[in-house]
């Protein structure tokens, strides 16, 4: 069995593709239905006031959402999962595991929404953040303060696809008694399972690859141990930013095809990245699967694939705009991880909330584009980019 196959095998011996379909709630026990029922209810009857039912109010728990939460917990190898109204709802809730006066160490080229929450909202709550180049373990260690309580990782990072050595950072954090959190949106549990590397909380914008169809907003969190799970449950219930029943069902439907979609998109992404890397009119290509990617060796140790996101620098904002005007196949839009390819402009989209000088310091230049490769034919995508660049 290969390393990749071993990583995709559960403790019971079932392959990942099988567990995507057979996740424990795939058949309704009451009716035999081949889909999780939608419990479209806000409240639940108490047959006895002295014996409260498992579910009493949908903000606190709902059978449809519970099926999803158990589903992602099983895929990530955690003890409990939690579903939120968006990726940022999941991420911001997880940050509230910290308290006023606490300090956080965070990946410097993090998603713009995460950067905005930490610098605008968390800072007002008295939570301090130091952004570091997390490819440099010495820089991570140097950021430690007396009040440091957590480390937040994003690997591959968005949008420059830098790689953090998850096991090394998690091991150091445990020595220091720090909580570790990791955004696994780009890789999904199909390619990368951070809990196996020692991470405490795994986060997803499930809007992206897990949902996969550009038709829902959702966020997920998975706790590695019961103590953290209890704290996350309290926060989820207190804040109330839970995922609705319809979107919980829709997300489960999307997740069933995760492996098939990721495999197709990754094959195309590797082909597209190699083609871009050969073009003299492209200043730089960012993709962990390229031989010259500085983090490739570490990425291959902790992930079983390279993913479906390719970023590339056209050299200038003017060139990036010309390309976006000329492409015909991908959506020019925010977001990623869908069946259709999506071409994004981080400077004005995902990282618009990051000041220009901060973006540039993190390598997010005005000519940078992020291409999330969908399920179209790779040769068609390349031909479309070629005509756009030629024009």
Give the residue numbers marked as catalytic: 59, 111, 183, 208
Beta strand residue intervals within the chain, DSSP E: 80-84, 103-107, 128-132, 148-154, 179-183, 201-205, 219-223, 284-286, 309-313, 331-332, 342-344, 368-372
* Angstrom distance (rounded) from CA 292 to CA 242: 42
Name the burial class of residue 277, with classes exposed (0-12), middle (13-18) and buried (19+) by CB atoms within 10 angstroms of its CB: middle
Q: Residue 169: which of 145, 134, 204 has the closest Cα?
A: 134
Q: Answer for the pair 267, 305: CB distance below 8 angstroms, yes or no.
A: no
Q: Which residues pair with 128 in a beta bridge?
A: 103
Across 48-67, b (16+ Cβ under 10 Å) vs e yields eeeeeeebeebeebbbbbbb
Across 218-238, b (16+ Cβ under 10 Å) vs e yields bbbbbbbeeebbeebbebbee
* Angstrom distance (rounded) from CA 194 to CA 189: 8
DSSP 8-state class, residue 197: G
If one counts every other C-beta atom within 10 angstroms of the C-beta of residue 87, the result is 26
* Angstrom distance (rounded) from CA 89 to CA 327: 33
């Amino acid at each position: 069995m290969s390393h990749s196959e071993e990583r995709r095998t559960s403790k019971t011996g079932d392959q990942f593709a099988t567990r995507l379909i057979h996740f424990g709630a795939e058949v309704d026990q009451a009716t035999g239905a081949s889909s999780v029922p939608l419990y479209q209810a806000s409240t639940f009857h108490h047959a006895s006031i002295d014996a409260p039912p498992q579910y009493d109010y949908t903000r606190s728990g709902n059978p449809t959402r519970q099926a999803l939460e158990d589903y992602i917990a099983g895929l990530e190898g955690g003890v409990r999962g939690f579903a939120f109204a968006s990726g940022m709802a999941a991420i911001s809730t997880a940050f509230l595991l910290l308290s006023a006066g606490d300090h956080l160490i965070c990946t410097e080229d993090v998603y713009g929404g995460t950067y905005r929450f930490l610098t605008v909202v968390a800072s007002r709550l008295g939570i301090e953040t130091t952004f570091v180049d997390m490819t440099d373990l010495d820089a991570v260690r140097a950021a430690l303060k007396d009040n440091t309580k957590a480390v937040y990782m994003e690997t591959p990072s968005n949008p420059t696809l830098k790689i953090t050595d998850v096991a090394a950072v998690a091991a150091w954090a445990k020595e220091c008694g720090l909580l570790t959190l990791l955004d696994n949106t780009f890789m999904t549990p199909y390619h990368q399972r951070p809990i196996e590397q020692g991470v405490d909380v795994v986060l997803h914008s499930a809007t992206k690859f897990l949902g996969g169809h550009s038709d829902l907003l959702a966020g997920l969190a998975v706790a590695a141990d019961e103590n953290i799970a209890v704290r996350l449950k309290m926060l989820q219930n207190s804040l109330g930013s839970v995922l609705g029943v319809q979107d919980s069902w829709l997300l489960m439907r999307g997740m069933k095809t995760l492996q098939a979609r990721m495999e197709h998109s990754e094959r195309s992404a590797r082909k597209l990245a190699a083609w871009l890397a050969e073009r003299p009119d492209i200043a730089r290509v960012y993709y962990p699967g390229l031989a010259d990617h500085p983090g490739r060796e570490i990425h291959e140790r902790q992930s079983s694939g390279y993913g479906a996101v390719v970023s590339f620098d056209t050299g200038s904002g003017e060139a990036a705009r010309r390309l976006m005007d000329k492409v015909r196949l991908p959506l020019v839009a925010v977001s990623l991880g869908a069946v259709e390819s999506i071409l994004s402009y981080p400077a004005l989209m995902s990282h618009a909330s990051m000041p220009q000088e901060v973006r540039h310091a993190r390598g997010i230049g005005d000519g940078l584009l992020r291409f999330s490769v969908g399920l179209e034919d790779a040769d068609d995508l390349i031909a479309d980019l070629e005509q756009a660049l030629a024009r």
